[in-house]
Each structure stands twice: as structure tokens, then as C-alpha cells.
Amino acid sequence: MAENRVGVDGLVNITDGAGALTIDGMVASYPTVNPAFIGGYVWSGAQTAGLLAANNYLALTNPTGSGKTILIAGVFISSVIVADIGITIAPLRGYLATGVSGGTLESSSGVGKIRSTMPDPVGQIRTGNPTATLGAAWFNSPALIGASKGSSPFVHQVPATIAAGSLTLLPGESTVLRTEAGDVDQRWNISIAWSEL
């Protein structure tokens, strides 16, 4: 189960008919558990070299028949270059997908649990260019380009939650992180975090 902390702080005004009471500062903080969530997880891959051709670097899949729902929290991407990179390099993009297969199915022991007592994840991570039927794209992360070996890397944090809720994977659905064209002098570092209920 996922733990949430509920707090009331800052300026609080209470009117009881006889006047207003003002409290400035922390009023209370209570740890609570949302029983709907069974786990929170993060997977972070080793640095991976770019490829010239299109490549699916990572897929997170909610397997058919899992009986669970996956809520994506976000992805974290950084890149460095080891030689000159041209401006024609495609960004790394996130897609909604179905029919993911092949590649390398990563062990659940390589998935970090938000708390050690959580069960192993239902979500499956595949690397090594798994095949997929791609749907709509939901983000772009630009490739690092330049003529400087070891140019300043950056970390691009891509949240997957909006006011309407988190990007959701129902059983049989996936997200795939992919480039359409790359360079062997790129190095990608990719992580993804999610919750299951």
C-alpha cells in the first residue's frame, strides 16, 4: 500500500460566529495509507549507447489478465555524447502502445520498490528494442547534440500526471520510449516510475 502524508499548514482561519481564530504555522500532519494502491515502483536502466536506426529503448507493460491498473508517475531521461552529434538526431519520445513483445524482459528484482514490504510489480519492463504497435505519442525529450565530447548532460523529468489524473495503463497496454533515428555516439540514461492498484 502507498503511504500519503496529509498536512494542514500555513494560515488557517476558523469562524465560529463569535469571531475568527487565526493560526499561523503547522497545525497537524498525519501519515495515511491509501488502501487502493498495492505498490509504487521505479526502474532505472544502465547507460545505453544510441543506434542509427529507430529503436525502442524501453517498454513498460501492464500484462493482459493482470487485474491491476498502472499509473505512470513519470520518466527521467539524461544523455551525454562521446563524440560529435549532428542536429538531425531525433528526440527520445514516449508512446502509448499495445502488442509489446520480444527484446529483453527485465527481472522484477531489478525494479525498486517504494517500500521494501511491497509485492513484486505486475508491470513488466522490456529493453533491447522490443516490438510494439505504437499509438499516440505523449512526450518528446530532445537529444543532446554538439561538437564537445562530454557536453553538459541534463536530466529531463517528464511528469505523467495532469489535473484529470495520471497516464493509465490498463491490462494489455504499454508505454514505449523510442527514437526514430540516433547516433552511436549518444548515451541514454532512462528511468520510469509508476504505481499499481
**Distances from the Cα of 178 to the Cαs of 43, 59, 66, 95, in angstroms?**
16, 9, 25, 8
Same domain, 47 and 138: yes
Same domain, 31 and 47: no
Same domain, 1 and 91: no
Q: What is the pLDDT of residues 146-182, one digit of tens each?
A: 666 655 566 667 777 777 778 899 999 999 998 887 7
Residue 129: the pLDDT is 95
Same domain, 121 and 24: no
Q: What is the pLDDT of residues 87-137, one digit of tens each?
A: 667 788 899 999 999 999 999 999 999 999 999 999 999 999 999 999 999
Same domain, 15 and 58: no
Q: What is the pLDDT of residues 59-92, one digit of tens each?
A: 999 999 999 999 999 998 887 777 777 666 778 8
Same domain, 81 and 156: yes
Report, as an integer, the average pLDDT of 16-44.
64
Q: How far apart are CA 138 and CA 171, in angstroms?
A: 19
Query: Which structural domain, as residue segments, surrounds residue 132?
Result: 39-196
Asked if residues 132 and 176 have their Cβ atoms less than 8 Å apart, the reply is yes
Same domain, 28 and 105: no
Number of domains observed in the structure of the chain:
2
Same domain, 103 and 164: yes
DSSP 169: E
Same domain, 119 and 95: yes
Q: How far apart are CA 175 and CA 134, in angstroms?
A: 9
Same domain, 101 and 22: no
- 79 by Cβ neighbours in 10 Å (0-12 / 13-18 / 19+) ranks as buried
